[in-house]
Amino acid sequence: MTQTPEAILHLEKCLLRPHCESDAEDVSREANNPRIAKWMTNRFPHPYRVDDAKKWMASIKSQPEVNAFVICRKDDNRAIGGIGLENRTDVNYRTMVLGYWLGEDHWGQGIVTEAVTALSQWAFEKFPHVIRNWAAVIEVYTQPHHVISDMSLVSIPLAALHPCGCEMWHVTYIDSVGGWTIAS
pLDDT at 24 over 80: yes
Q: What is the mean pLDDT of residues 60-87?
A: 89
The CA-to-CA distance between both ends of the chain, in Å, stands at: 46
Is 150 exposed, middle or buried (CB count within 10 Å of its CB: 0-12, 13-18, 19+)?
middle
Q: How far apart, in whole angstroms, are the C-alpha atoms of residue 16 and residue 102?
A: 12
Q: Residue 9 — pLDDT band, cuts 50, 70, 90?
A: very high
| pLDDT above 90: percentage of residues in the chain | 36
Q: Which domains does the chain have, with CATH numbers?
A: 9-182 (3.40.630.30)
Predicted TM-score (pTM) of the model is: 0.79
Q: What is the mean pLDDT of residues 124-136?
A: 81
